[in-house]
Chains A and B, each alone.
Chain A
Amino acid sequence: MNQIWNQIEELESVASPGLLVNVDCVARNIDSMVRIVDGDTGRLRPHVKTHKMPAVIQMQLDAGIGKFKASTIAEASMVAGAGGQDVLLAYPVVGLNIQRLADLRDQYPETCFSVLVDHPSAISMLAEAFPKRDKPLRVFIDVDCGMHRTGIPWGEGLDQLRDRIDQSGDLEFAGLHVYDGHLHQPSLDERQQAVTEIRQKIADYATRSGAPEIVAGGSPTFAFWAQQPGIHCSPGTTVFWDIGYAEKFPDLPFEIAAALLTRVISKPGNERICLDLGYKAIASEMPFERRLKIASIEDAKLVSHSEEHLVLETASADSLAVGQPLIAFPRHICPTVALHSSAHLIRDSAITGQQWSVTARNRTMPTENTPPSDPPFRSSLRELKWIIAIWLFNFVWVITYCWLFGYSPDQPIALTFGIPSWAFWGIFAPWGVATAVSCWFALTQMQDHPLDVDDTDEQTEATDA
């Protein structure tokens, strides 16, 4: 890991503090995810909370992954906007968020949205907000399998909840969501044993009551759940990985794909250095002394941490120059990513100059309540399909009609407005319709885009796609 991160070229082109993403590692991590489920990408429903980036969604879509899990309305909106076909909002939806979810469904009618419920009142609220729709809202029951954060325990309450959903008429039972976030056992056997116990309860329920889809596990237990037939896996951190997981779960084949660029900004003496890596650049979620690691400074000890400053103590302080770039690894990558608006990309061990936007770090997406605006490529592709369909429609009309009615010279000629009837109904009429459809399509369905963008924005735009 460190070898990859120690040899990055052109770091001087990136301002610090900055988020770095190694695209090659991301690609390999996605490959590993697919490999763990034996290539059956239909069983993958990766969580997007780690990256919050449409560009990563695009890479996962390219790898054949179509289903995703999200924690916020903004993440769900980002997935749908990036082309994800199925989004599970794995978070209880209450208050105004219910209406935001309804709006999102209207905005992206081709995307299948589902949510979690763990209480009868949540079912009532959702049923009230999604009445009489063509497609009932799909709901997963959130099962508390030991984490005791959200969810309903196995037992009678679960069955009652299921009955409420079935009786509501407006909601559709989609299955069970069983998140085992409490399983952090470094021992493989202990982790596997815990998973097996939960698996047994799932099997009992499914045999008794049936469940269309079971979404189970997080990153630490991903490999075990992947071995359970019929279970859909939802790892999240696996796409970027971090030193927290890498140290705890060395059995998992993922590489660290995201880190932070920081620089020495001061040397206050006493073997101390000060970095521009305050807790506005790296999440302060973890205990102070375990918050991060600095590549190439093994003995670094955290002394103090404030908004924009991080003071370290190290025996190698003398050898570090003011302005020197360093690579820092947050213990938990997910909350740190959300502190940055974009990530600088690394490919072939060099900074590419391109960036990916962390669009879903915002609580509200700018596209909410506005018609979706695809990048030119996506909208052009959509329009291409429409155009081929319009051509095909006219082709079938003209050729079929003229073939049936226009190839009989022995018949007496029938006229419509002075034109042979076969030509009127087989050519003039479709010509009029085609012209009208072309006008309608060009004026109302084709999207406008700014075409003259400067190179930096353009590259960010392109990679966001």
Chain B
Amino acid sequence: MPEASNTALMTFAVYTLAVFLLAVLANRASKGKEFVGEYFLGSRSFGVWALALTFAATNASGGSFMGFPALIYTHGWTLALWIAGYIIVPLVSMGLMGKRLNEVARKCDAITIPEVLKGRFESSRVGLVATSLLIFFMFFYLVAQFKAGGKILSTLLANEAYFQSAVELVGSATQNIPWVNQAEPDYLVCLLVFSVAVIVYVVYGGFRAVVWTDVMQGIVMFVGVILMLGLALWQVGGLSNATRQLAEMTPPENGIGTVTLPSPATTERAVEKGTWIAQSDGVYRLAAKATIPIGQVESESVDILKITTEEEISRLRREIGSSDLRLKIEEMTRYKYGAGQKGVYVTNPGPSPTNQLGFLAIGSAISFFIFWPFGAAGQPSNMVRLLSFKDTRTLRYSIVTVGIYYGVIYLALVIIFCCARVLMPGMEIDPDRTMPDFATKLTVDAGVPWLAGVLVAAPFAAVMSSVDSFLLVVSSAVVRDVYQGEINQHASEKRLRLLSHLVTVVVGILAVLFVLRPPTYLQDLIVFATGGLAACFLVPMVLSLYWQKMTGPAAIAGMLGGTMTHLGLTCWGYLKYGEFRAYEFVGLNPFIWDLAGSIIACLVVVWIGPKASQKLVERFF
């Protein structure tokens, strides 16, 4: 679809220009202000819209616009229950600590989360432990988000001619550079473009630029989702129609097969990924590219997908038309839950290819309802936003704004991609493409291909708004907590400015280098990092803010207790499942056990350790 792709490129260009423009404006606005406070926290000056949208956009990372649509497509309406914890995310993640955290941070003159803990207990040790754990977990997150940024961009630009030329050029230029040459050239180009864009505007504009671009990105995401909702409902013929059709659907089957020709190929015959093949025993889609060599009638074995819903099969048979290609099936695997069963897409626990209990057993639903709000509350990138608002009225109105924003976005996404399941079969071969492909399909079918640019910009905006925040959180931990806090407390403004910029660039480059060859379990690392951060910071922070008896040693114990439980369950999970994921003890999300570990560690140390200093109690309570 070159038209749509062209638009995507244009959108990306306009979008990037807008981001740079905001960075320039932010840079101008920051003139004359104390550098470190401005660069890392925008001088605590943000109002309702800035706070609300930066909060919403940072939270809605790439996952919300890539992973979440893919999950809805694959498992159906059960995702409404999976995401239901977001009902209360704005109130819990902003209201639980917002006012108090901002107040305590101002008393300590803190601009980072480790600095708040350090100031609250007047203990460098607490600050250092917090900084170390923050950098440890944050780096995984940053790496994963950089990868997501590169991947999304390469998806958007895949069919663009200019892009292909650039890919060839970069591919040949880097083929002899060790480490770098291990990355696919198209991914490499996108990763570099994405990273340079983000690093440049963060370094130039600081936190203010990050927040302003978040506001723009938040608006883009909102508008994109609303447009998609309208188009999807219109094209599917109403939500009732979509849900009824969905109720008749049965999950596909995955398998392996070879593509065959009736006679030997005269030239090498490449059959693209996504090609449909209809034959007497069913309708199939290739999940990988197959190649039939010259003189042969059969390709190598490739992954395939078999459609099992009657209505889809008839529709696809009409659309596909005749072809000389045939599939020789080697092996087919049915879903472990929901195979051949109508209604699984409109109820819980949702179909699952791997889990006999289905996608969302009730224990998991309970866990997620706890994890979303409290996990969000425990993210340092969210907490740091709560240091930046100018007054409590801003916080109150932001909760309202984010509440309405999330309600619209997430419920709309569930509806949109349930419609996608009906309108666009066979996306199980590459679920991450569901969002951009559906956006393109909707706009092209509606005769407005230019709109695809706006729609596909949404996930890109989401990733960008998360990456920029994490980049600053990690940089501020190094500059403020380690350098200014421990090494040189009287560093000059000029030196801090230079160092802040340098660290942001170095952290960005390190992340890019690391992600050139992403570790196998990268997605699992994201889960590991998110859970780890919340497990590490939530309980110690809440107790530090609200409990007079809380002490510095107890805060360290809480951070380490949560982290160790998290690491312990992850090791247990690795031994049990052979995968990099935490063990779900009695079927509950590891986050709940992490929190329990953290709470117990805090309480034990408060109980047996030194008493809270009366002086600190009087200062903060």
Contact = CB atoms under 8 A, between A and B. Distances in A.
Nearest to B547: A381
A415 interface: yes
Given A420-B77, A423-B80, A451-B391, A347 B615 contact: yes
A66 interface: no
B91 A390 contact: yes
Interface in A403-434: 403, 406-411, 413, 415, 417-420, 422-423, 426-428, 430-432, 434
Interface stretch (B293-301, B399-407, B520-528): B399-407
Of B90, B391, B392, B619, the most chain A CB neighbours within 10 A belong to B392
Interface residues of B, number: 62
B162 interface: no
Contacts of A92: none
B42 to A, nearest CB: 15
A458 interface: yes
Given A398-B84, A399-B366, A413 B243 contact: yes
Contacts of B243: 413, 415, 418-420
Contact of A398 (B96, B103, B369, B400): B369
Interface stretch (B175-183, B343-351, B496-504): B343-351
Contacts of A422: 347-348
Contacts of A380: 97, 99-100, 103, 545-546
B95 A446 contact: yes
A409 B76 CA distance: 12
Contacts of B593: none
A406 B81 contact: yes
A448 B102 CA distance: 13
B33 interface: no
Interface stretch (B200-208, B234-242, B510-518): B234-242
A441 interface: yes
B88 interface: yes
A438 B393 contact: no
A462 B614 CA distance: 12
A391 B397 CA distance: 19
Contacts of B107: 458, 462
B365 A446 contact: no
A413 B399 contact: no
A196 B242 CA distance: 86
A320 interface: no
Contacts of A431: 84, 87, 407, 411
Interface string B606-621: 0000000011001111
Contact of A415 (B87, B244, B373, B404): B244
A261 interface: no
A454 to B, nearest CB: 11
Interface string A232-263: 00000000000000000000000000000000
B407 A446 contact: no
Contacts of B393: 448
B105 to A, nearest CB: 9
B356 to A, nearest CB: 14
Interface string A330-355: 00000000000000000100001010
Interface of B: 77, 80-81, 84, 87-88, 90-92, 95-97, 99-100, 102-103, 106-107, 238-244, 247, 338, 341, 343-344, 346-349, 362, 365-366, 369-370, 373, 391-393, 395-397, 399-400, 403-404, 407, 411, 415, 545-546, 548, 614-615, 618-621
19 contacts: A377-B620, A377-B621, A379-B99, A390-B88, A402-B365, A403-B362, A413-B346, A418-B238, A419-B415, A422-B348, A423-B77, A427-B80, A427-B81, A434-B88, A435-B87, A441-B91, A451-B391, A452-B106, A459-B618
Interface of A: 23, 27, 55, 62, 347, 352, 354, 376-377, 379-381, 383-384, 387, 390-391, 394-395, 398-399, 402-403, 406-411, 413, 415, 417-420, 422-423, 426-428, 430-432, 434-435, 438-439, 441-443, 446-452, 458-459, 462-463, 465
Given A380-B97, A381-B546, A387-B95, 4 more contacts: A413-B243, A435-B404, A439-B399, A465-B621
